[in-house]
A and B are shown apart, each in its own frame.
Chain A
């Protein structure tokens, strides 16, 4: 994921026309010159394309394995939003912003997590489709048409990437706030439940996620795909 975002940035630089604003007013320009220079981006278009079109396979295979795993393990039942999840997700957001006390009851993931972790899969699929639309717009012209044409597909592809970066940043903040126990659970797949019984005995909840599911590049996306946050 990190390599895809980085190489995508090297490509985007060559035609960096996107901005948020109206008329002659620019609110946010993607991206300022200093940003490019800090990340050593300029004049690396060919490098970007070479990396992008190789690592797209890793992105695809990793995503596919994750989806297959959640499907066959039954984990998807804990991840897919339920009818009430969208309403409850809002309550979780208010709670996390300290605007509301108390949380709706939850299983492994809270409602906001269910929505977010399912949305990221849909986004991943979106990146694959919009990517294919701009990679082979003639041979896969129907995909290009579904994505709203060549130029619009590029805008979608770019917007999804901004989405991942925001997701990642929020994710890091949430993990930091949730604390060590939670982070340990994300990595080990074991969560400690404090036991009233003798102090030497620990009751652990074995999650089906194990470290094996991070078998790939070990990049940032691994943490996302194996997230097991639980607040008990």
Chain B
């Protein structure tokens, strides 16, 4: 029985066969070269101020546009039990949480609009309904840890302080008291019910290296977005400055 495969035999003369072969090899080599050149061009493209090649930043933005369509506040990061949470929580960075910090002087500043700033103490925040979140904290580096946090839902906080107008904006920015670390997060992620203004870890007050007295926990983002030791909170429609985005990472960093 002849198969289809065998039916494809045909005769040709040596000259046209050689021509076809040479043509094929030229196209093959050109495609190979084109691929290599395209990669090299991309790799050597001068980086902009945010430490990444413009074409790659455009890639991040396009992915953000697509994948944020799949975002839903009702999708929660998987919850765990207190027993599953690690006792020794990894400390991966200390930018913005230096030792020169004076806890007694700390007060949370919420910039409602220019010239109108709310001042809120830790006790004010602790007086609000406490929410606990035990989730798998994920770092861009590739490790993850089940950790246990307690604090106030950011959504509850906005309601309590009548910040409805602010919560209708696109972004929420945060800066450490020393101004050295800063992040911007999109409001839909900030309003996700697991997002906390957090003052407790493993049922105890936050340690200094975890951002005492108040930090952000935002389980739908990588760890780089969970700012430790919040000094100022503000809102804007443009992307606020973001420490790691300026180092070439994805601004969105959504999980």
Interface range, A side: 35 or more
> Within residues 189 to 213 of chain A, which ones have a CB less than 8 A from any CB in chain B?
189-190, 192-193, 195, 200-208, 211
Which among B60, B70, B142 is the interface contact of A12 at CB below 8 angstroms? B142
For the complex, is A114 an interface residue (Cβ under 8 Å from B)?
no
* B34 & A14 in contact (Cβ 8 Å cutoff): no
| Chain A interface, DSSP helix/strand/loop, else mixed | mixed
Which residues of chain A from 85 to 120 have a CB within 8 Å of any chain B CB?
Answer: 107-108
A45 interface residue (CB < 8 Å to B) = yes
Residues from chain A with Cβ under 8 Å of B140 in the complex = 14, 45, 49
Residue-by-residue, is A115-155 near B (CB-CB < 8 Å gives 1, otherwise 0)?
Answer: 00000000000000000000011111100000000110010
Docked Cα-Cα span, A62 to B251, in Å, equals 27
Q: Does B9 belong to the interface (CB within 8 Å)?
A: yes
Binding-face segment, A26-34, A161-169, A170-178, A214-222: A214-222
Interchain CA distance A136-B220 in the complex, whole Å: 9
Kindly list chain B residues whose C-beta atoms are within 8 Å of the C-beta of A15.
Answer: 139, 141-143
A41 at the interface (CB under 8 A from B): no
Assuming A138-B219, A139-B254, is B9 touching A205 (CB within 8 A)?
yes
Q: Which B residues lie within 8 Å of A47 (CB)? A: 52, 248
Least CB distance, B26 to chain A, in whole angstroms? 9
Cβ of A138: which chain B residues have Cβ within 8 Å of it?
A: 75-78, 219-220, 254-255
Whether B67 and A139, one on each chain, are in contact in the complex, defined by CB atoms closer than 8 angstroms, is yes
User: Do B141 and A139 have beta carbons less than 8 Å apart?
Assistant: no
B221 CB, min distance to chain A CBs, angstroms: 9
Closest to B3 in A: A107
A53/B70 in contact, CB under 8 A: no
Bound complex: CA A15 to CA B31 (Å): 35
Alpha-carbon separation in the docked complex, A126 to B220 (Å): 24
Within 8 Å of chain B (Cβ to Cβ): is A74?
A: yes
For B38, what are the chain A residues with a Cβ–Cβ distance below 8 Å?
A: 217
* Chain A residues within an 8 Å CB radius of B247: 46
- Which of B31, B52, B220, B250 touches A218 (beta carbons < 8 Å)? B31
Contact pick for A207, options B8, B33, B51, B248, CB 8 Å? B8
Please, how many angstroms separate the alpha-carbon atoms of A78 and B5 in the complex? 9
Interface string of A2-32 (1 = CB under 8 A from B): 0100000001101101000000000000000
B37 to chain A, nearest CB (A): 9
Give A230's nearest chain B residue, CB to CB. B5
The verdict on B158 contacting chain A, using a C-beta distance below 8 Å, is no
B35 contacts A200, CB within 8 Å? Answer: no
B33 touches which of A12, A54, A216, A218 (Cβ 8 Å): A218
Contacts of B141 in A (CB 8 A): 14-15, 45
CA distance A141 to B5 in the complex (A): 45
Q: Does A70 contact B (CB under 8 A)?
A: no
Are A188 and B24 closer than 8 Å at their CB atoms? yes
Is the CB–CB distance between A188 and B21 below 8 Å? yes
Residue of B nearest to A215 (CB): B31
- A204-B16 Cα distance, complex, nearest whole Å: 11
Q: How far is the CB of A110 from chain B (nearest CB, A)?
A: 13
Q: CB of A187 within 8 A of chain B?
A: yes
Mark out the residues of chain A between 44 and 74 whose CB falls within 8 Å of any chain B CB in the assembled complex.
45-47, 49-51, 53-54, 74
Beyond A187-B28, A218-B35, is A136–B136 a contact (Cβ under 8 Å)? Answer: no
Question: CA of A215 to CA of B52 in the docked complex: distance in angstroms?
Answer: 28
B27 touches A211 (CB 8 A): yes
* Residue numbers in B under 8 Å from A140 (CB-CB): 70
- Chain B residues 229-255 with CB under 8 Å of chain A are 247-250, 254-255
Q: Quick one: which of B122-136 are within 8 Å of A by CB?
A: 136
Q: Judging by beta carbons under 8 Å apart, are B24 and A217 in contact?
A: no
Distance in angstroms from B20 CB to nearest chain A CB is 6
A136: chain B residues at CB < 8 Å are 67, 70, 254-255
Asked whether, in the complex, the Cβ of A50 is within 8 Å of the Cβ of B53, the reply is: yes
Residues of the A chain whose Cβ atoms lie less than 8 Å from the Cβ of B44: none
Residues of A within 8 A of B63 (CB): 53
Q: List 6 A-B contacts (CB under 8 A).
A: A50-B57, A138-B219, A203-B12, A206-B9, A211-B24, A217-B35
Counting from the closest, the 7 A-B pairs by CB-CB distance are A218-B35, A15-B142, A218-B31, A54-B59, A217-B35, A46-B248, A50-B56
> Given known contacts A15-B142, A188-B21, A206-B9, what 13 new A-B pairs fall within 8 Å (CB)?
A46-B52, A50-B57, A51-B56, A78-B5, A107-B5, A138-B220, A138-B254, A141-B75, A150-B138, A151-B144, A188-B20, A203-B11, A217-B38
